[in-house]
A and B are shown apart, each in its own frame.
Chain A
């Protein structure tokens, strides 16, 4: 009996040691791979930057491109460069993409992937210099059930054909989330989408209006104030009204007017609290709020203002 017990214990110990060894080996392998990827990414970035700032820009040679994941690293490097900068010579980036067939490769990977992986490949494609052919191929994902896939297919179309951007955004059947609006505005900041805010804010399409309001917020367009107050009168939907009120707060417009009081009266308590947080961020004085909110809500506002969270930066 004792011998059996000892044998069982020895087997368990051996199995545990085996698992621990495998785990350690896997961790080491992952660490090594991450290190290798970081080094290769840095190397690719260096090559691209040298080519971009050279006197005579020419398509550079990228080493180790046949190795596993190298092409993805190159695509990530170009996409990262595109996302974080503007004003770089796009011609050279397009030439690199075309020479190494990065767009074709990403499209092929997207075709065989599903869900978030597919969305990731499409997101990378949307950051690379776009062509109409890629946009045509990515259009098949425009009706995907996965929201991210659908959105990045739209982003590819927007960056490939900027003149048709408004039409495409208005044609979307789903409402843009705040993150999606931020992505579109980031593309606009990089100069990929030449869009004016006025027609967007006045548009009947909720998606276009959200993008317009986001532009007004981000660029601090104070002259849009009267148009926003007009919107509060015209649009009765709660979501649109909350968005307009947040934009007015971001612009630090005076809020003691009939339109704002009327909208606040129709908001739910949770929405009013969300608006208060936005007002605190925009430094509205608690004195002003006493004329807009009741006593309990004003007390809540004062707690936000006094909180250390106001000390943001």
Chain B
């Protein structure tokens, strides 16, 4: 079974995305951003991590380095946030983020994207 991790400090958005991805046939787990996220990623290799926030003064490159073991293309990392500036989006994509979506987000589109990427990842 494939594994998805949703990371956010906001319980409501975490729960919203978790419920939207229910029924995809993947195990969906939630964590806060920070130590909990790193601890989970060190223990389990996820297929997809969805981060629901961005933070100023926080280097995305380092975060991706910690989430994704060197030399691997897994896990895929999606970022969904309220930030809309082109600069932010480009820097995130350069850091290795696979998909960037802005709030307000279409749950159907997100679900379709996740389903598509998980299918591609299946051995």
Q: Which of B15, B20, B105, B109 has the most CB of A within 10 A?
A: B15
Q: Kindly list chain A residues whose C-beta atoms are within 8 Å of the C-beta of B84.
A: 218
In the complex, the answer to whether B58 meets A313 with C-beta atoms within 8 Å is yes
Tell me the complex Cα distance, A46–B56, Å. Answer: 32
In the complex, the answer to whether B104 meets A186 with C-beta atoms within 8 Å is yes
Q: Which of A53, A77, A283 has the most CB of B within 10 A?
A: A53
Residue in A83, A189, A308, A313 whose beta carbon sits within 8 Å of that of B95 in the complex:
A313
> How extensive is the interface on chain A, given as a class?
20 to 34
Which residues of chain A in 82-101 are interfacial with respect to chain B, using CB atoms and an 8 Å cutoff? 83-88
B92 at the interface (CB under 8 A from A): yes
CB-CB under 8 A for A85 and B19, given A312-B87, A313-B92, A313-B95: no
Q: Kindly list chain A residues whose C-beta atoms are within 8 Å of the C-beta of B119.
A: none
Which residues of chain A in 16-48 are interfacial with respect to chain B, using CB atoms and an 8 Å cutoff? 38, 41-42, 45-46
Number of B positions contacting A (CB below 8 A): 31
* A residues neighboring B (CB under 8 Å): 38, 41-42, 45-46, 49-50, 53, 77, 80-81, 83-88, 186, 189-190, 218, 220, 250, 281-283, 308-309, 311-313
A-B contact pairs, 13 of them (CB 8 A): A49-B16, A49-B20, A84-B16, A84-B105, A85-B105, A86-B105, A86-B106, A87-B109, A186-B104, A220-B86, A281-B85, A313-B58, A313-B59
* B residues neighboring A (CB under 8 Å): 11-13, 15-16, 19-20, 22-23, 54, 56-60, 84-88, 91-92, 95, 102-109
